[in-house]
Structures are given as structure tokens and as C-alpha cells.
Amino acid sequence: MTHTVLCGDFAHYQDPDEEWEVPGFRTADAATEYARRFVRDQIEGLRGEYADAAELREAYLSFGEYAIAPGFELQAWLDHCIANPAARKADTDYQALDPNR
């Protein structure tokens, strides 16, 4: 059994033409870690434009891309990412975890 991460664009939330799947994760934890890094990468990409935490949150929820994985709590992770900027490249390197690469 493998696990899949569903990704999409908040600007077109739940539009099937704007969602895609990343399949093939061997564990739920691996899928969740991919989702964490994916979301953190989105936050860090917006951080330079929005210094205020509330503005950064609003921008992400309006223009960012989301990830849904087993056991992944987006809102709690979003709060964490906004309060704690990424310290290492690995924090945002979701592509390194893609089982399809």
C-alpha cells in the first residue's frame, strides 16, 4: 500500500483542473513530511512580500498552493511556519522526497 498527497491552488480551491496528486509514498509519515515541506516552501516564497504574520497568512490562503496528506493538519502547520521561518534548505525541499523523481 502506498500513500498519496493531494496538492492544489487556493485561488482555485477544489477545482479538479487545478489539483494534482503525488502518489507512491511508502508510509503516511513520508507523505506528511512531503506536505509539510511543500507548504513551508509556499510560505517562505511569500514571506519576503508580506512581513506581517496576518498578511502572510491571508496571502497564503488566497494565492498559495496547499497539500493534503494523511494526518497532516494544515492550520497548525501554517501557524508554525509563519511563526518560525525555515532555517535550512531541507525545510523546504519537498522535491527531494518525491517518490516519482
Q: What is the 3-state secondary structure (H, E, C) of 7-40?
A: EEEHHHCCCHHHEEEEEEECCHHHHHHHHHHHHH
CB 86 within 8 A of CB 92: yes
More confident residue, 89 or 51: 89
Does residue 51 have a pLDDT over 90? no
- pLDDT, mean of residues 11-34: 92
Residues 64 and 25: beta-carbon distance below 8 Å: no
Share of the chain above pLDDT 90, in %: 87
Given this model, what pLDDT does residue 25 score? 98
Which residues share a beta bridge with 5? 22
Q: Which residue has the cell 519576503?
A: 48
pLDDT at 45 over 90: yes
State how far the Cα of 4 lies from the Cα of 69, in Å rounded to an integer: 7
Question: What local confidence, expressed as pLDDT, does residue 31 receive?
Answer: 98
Q: Residue range 62-66: average pLDDT?
A: 94
Say what the pLDDT of residue 14 is.
Answer: 75
**Averaged pLDDT for residues 70-91:** 96
